[in-house]
Structure 1
Amino acid sequence: MVLTTEASAATISVRDHGIGIPRELHGRVFERFYRAVSLQQRAFPGLGMGLYIVAEIVKHHGGTIRVESEKGKGTTFHLTFPLATSRDEISRGRE
């Protein structure tokens, strides 16, 4: 896991060295109940809810999530969150 910051945002990058996700499926991995594995790979358990839940949390905090992956070479997820730049923005976020 790597954390990088800029003046207006913080990005958390999480990488695994698993089976990877084919490029044509990158847009679907954040859908509810979607699993990017073939029938032969169903040995990997899951309901297809994890990335959907993460994406919803990120979205509700005003952030973005993106995926970089190549089949057979692992996956990196980048979660970017805006940073409050003043006390006024922090206060507005608590309303």
Structure 2
Amino acid sequence: MTRLPGDPGPLRRVRYVLGFRLPPEHREWVRHDLTDAGWRGRMLRRHVALMVPVCLLFALLPGAWWIGAGAGLLALVASTFTVVIGAEDLRRSRLRRHGLPEP
């Protein structure tokens, strides 16, 4: 797949996933990411990529293995459900943060 104009590098993508605003030269990439077809899937994939290390930390907690695994799974399911429910609001917030019009 070809890169889009304004595609941020790996470090800026990590900052974007964590919720930081990208510089103005990446506005078209952000607009594409949040308004073109498949934006919900991309948002969900970003969220899961962010949550997997957190869930692994829960799984490594001392104690019975099933408690850590259950805590990690609960965190993943609950946070994913929250993202699915609030996807429109999260998208609007990111668009405003980058100075883009809301659809």
TM-score category, normalised to shorter length: under 0.3
TM-score, normalised by the number of residues in structure 2: 0.24
Structure with greater proportional helix content: 2
Q: TM-score, normalised by structure 1?
A: 0.26
The structure richer in strand per residue is 1
Higher relative contact order (CA 8 A, sep 6+): 1
